[in-house]
Amino acid sequence: MGKRRKPSPPSRARMVVLTTAVAGGAVLASGTAHAEPAPTLAAVKEQVDRLNEEAEQAIERFNGFQEKQQKLQGEANRIQEKVARGQEAMNELRTQLGVVGAEQYRNNGIDPGIQLMLDSDPASYLGRASVQDQVAGSWTDLLKRAQDEQRKLDQERAEAAATLADLDAVGASLNTQKNQIQGKLAQSEALLNKLSAEERAKINAQEAAEKAKAAAQQAAAAERAKAADKEAADKAKAAAPAKETAGKGATATPQTPTPQAPAAQTPAPQTPAANTPPPAANTPAPPAAGGRAAAIVQFAYAQLGKPYGWSKTGPSSFDCSGLTGAAYRAADVSLPRTSQEQWKVGTRIGRGDLQPGDLVFFYPDLHHVGVYIGDGKMIHAPRTGKNIEVLAIGVMPYMGAVRP
């Protein structure tokens, strides 16, 4: 059997080529594993919108906790004042008990029978004994009052302790909500900061186009509704003379009473209302009877261009429910602090019956609210980074309206 030849070691040049190829493959593989595609503008916008919506939900929760905190603080102050007054009453009762107790000790140190025997003036003694009985009665009354006051004081102290514990819990919830809000807004801002000025401009232009499209669709729907109303009114007008003539020709017949002819004309008076032009987007709506709606709408118009400020109720910035609450305060109407609570106040209004000054609500959890101004539009405080604006109510998921 012949000797097997050992393979010759690779040359230096071949080793360099192999090493370079392996290293290049590793770098390529590494680059392929870690490279992440840049998010599209649409994806960034969607994420920013979601974060801002979540932040607004947290803001309304924060507002609710803040309102509860203020109520609890007022309740705690009231109870603590009662405790202080109760303690003063107890201190006064203790003083009186001390005086009466000392008097009894001085007068009752000797047996009453012996005092009578030793007294040189029995009549005087009997008089003093009567006074002592009165003192004893006062002592009993004071003891009863002291016991009652102490029970009240203990109850009020327990109530104050429970209220303060609730206040601490609400304060902790406030801090949690605040951290959540700031976290959402920071994430949103970080996403936007990764975009160039040109990309930000594109997103803003896209938002404006979406709003314009929604407003145009809403205006077209309103025009179609007006046209339908006009057509119905015209048909009613055309039908009215024929019915009136038929009614006059049948006057000799007792079965056809003539007073029903005006009833056929009842749709006609609605025509002017159906054709009334909507208020311009930059002027307040006509004042309603009593002027309340006018005051609400005019206040809302006066805030246009002011910045959104979360948990703010004015005068320099507002969040959504802060703006609606302030608008109603201008008309001497008090509303709850949050949009969800404002939804519970007043009468529910159908979309076709909206009037300027009504509150309009959005999203399934009702976390956004605005002031309706007519023509399918509202004034609202949108979100952080935006200013108070006029917007068509069809842009966001519409849930309903309330007239407080």
Cα–Cα–Cα angle for 86, 91, 95, rounded to 5 degrees: 145
Per DSSP, 110 falls in state S
Instruction: Answer for the pair 56, 368: CB distance below 8 angstroms, yes or no.
Output: yes
321 near 60, Cβ under 8 Å? yes
Tokens found for residue 375: 């023509």
Half-sphere exposure of 80 (CA within 13 A, CB side): 10
Query: Is 380 noted as a catalytic residue in this protein?
Result: yes
**Catalytic entry in 45, 61, 380, 383:** 380
Residues 60-87 as b/e (b if ≥16 CB within 10 A, e otherwise) read bbbbbbbebbeebeebbeebbebbeebe
| Placement of tokens 């209302």 in the chain | 273
Q: 122 Cβ partners below 8 Å, 6+ apart?
A: 116
**CA 58 centroid distance within chain:** 11
d(CA 360, CA 370): 5
Tokens of 112: 């009453």
Distance from chain centroid for Cα 403: 16
Torsion sign, CA atoms 386, 392, 395, 400: positive
Rg (CA), the chain: 41
Catalytic one of 312, 368, 377, 383: 368
Is 34 considered catalytic here?
A: no
Whose structure tokens read 């006074």? 131
Contact of 72 with 163, CB cutoff 8 Å: yes
Q: Which member of 76, 100, 320, 392 is catalytic?
A: 320
**d(C-alpha 164, C-alpha 381), whole Å:** 34
Phi-psi region of 151 (alpha: psi -120 to 50; beta: other; left: phi over 0): alpha
Q: Active-site residue numbers?
A: 320, 368, 380
